[in-house]
């Protein structure tokens, strides 16, 4: 079974631009979660999607948004990029939402200049 796939692996943007990151979950997994990882703040939960609906949200501004498609693939969008948005963005999928076993992708490294 293929793992969680995130594209692109690296991205360079400038302040004020917007960016879209993509995540394909493991086949059969319907829950997709997104995390931001920075050296200063560590790993922080952004949001979780299930059945095309956002079910849970972390403490991030409205510039961070996402969506999930009927095939469970998910996209994350960040508008009006700020320097502080530079981070590794990790996507994770799970089969059993209550058990908490998350399977992560290799992430997208976003650099904002």
Partner 1 sequence: AQTVTQSQPEMSVQEAETVTLSCTYDTSESDYYLFWYKQPPSRQMILVIRQEAYKQQNATENRFSVNFQKAAKSFSLKISDSQLGDAAMYFCAYKRAGAGGTSYGKLTFGQGTILTVHP
One of 24, 36, 68, 94 touching partner 1 (CB under 8 A)? 94
One of 12, 17, 43, 61 touching partner 1 (CB under 8 A)? 43
Minimum distance of partner 1 from residue 42's CB (angstroms):
5
Q: Does 24 help bind partner 1 (rule: CB under 8 A)?
A: no
Minimum distance of partner 1 from residue 64's CB (angstroms):
15
One of 87, 90, 110, 112 touching partner 1 (CB under 8 A)? 90
Contact 76, 23 (CB under 8 A): yes
CA 88 to chain centre: 9
One of 2, 28, 42, 70 touching partner 1 (CB under 8 A)? 42
Query: Binding-site residue total for partner 1 (CB under 8 A)?
Result: 29
How many CA atoms lie within 13 Å of 91's alpha carbon, on the beta-carbon side? 33
- Give the whole-angstrom CA distance, residue 25 versus residue 4: 5
- Give the whole-angstrom CA distance, residue 49 versus residue 34: 9
């Amino acid at each position: 079974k293929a793992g969680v796939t995130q594209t692109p692996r690296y991205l360079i943007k400038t302040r004020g631009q917007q960016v879209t990151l993509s995540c394909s979950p493991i086949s059969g997994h319907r829950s997709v979660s997104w995390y931001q990882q920075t050296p200063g703040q560590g790993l922080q939960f952004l949001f979780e999607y299930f059945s095309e609906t956002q079910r849970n949200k972390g403490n991030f501004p409205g510039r961070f948004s996402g969506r999930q498609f009927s095939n469970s693939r998910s996209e994350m969008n960040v508008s009006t990029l700020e320097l502080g948005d530079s981070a590794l963005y990790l996507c994770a999928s799970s089969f059993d939402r209550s058990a908490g076993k998350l399977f992560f992708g290799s992430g997208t490294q976003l650099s904002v200049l």
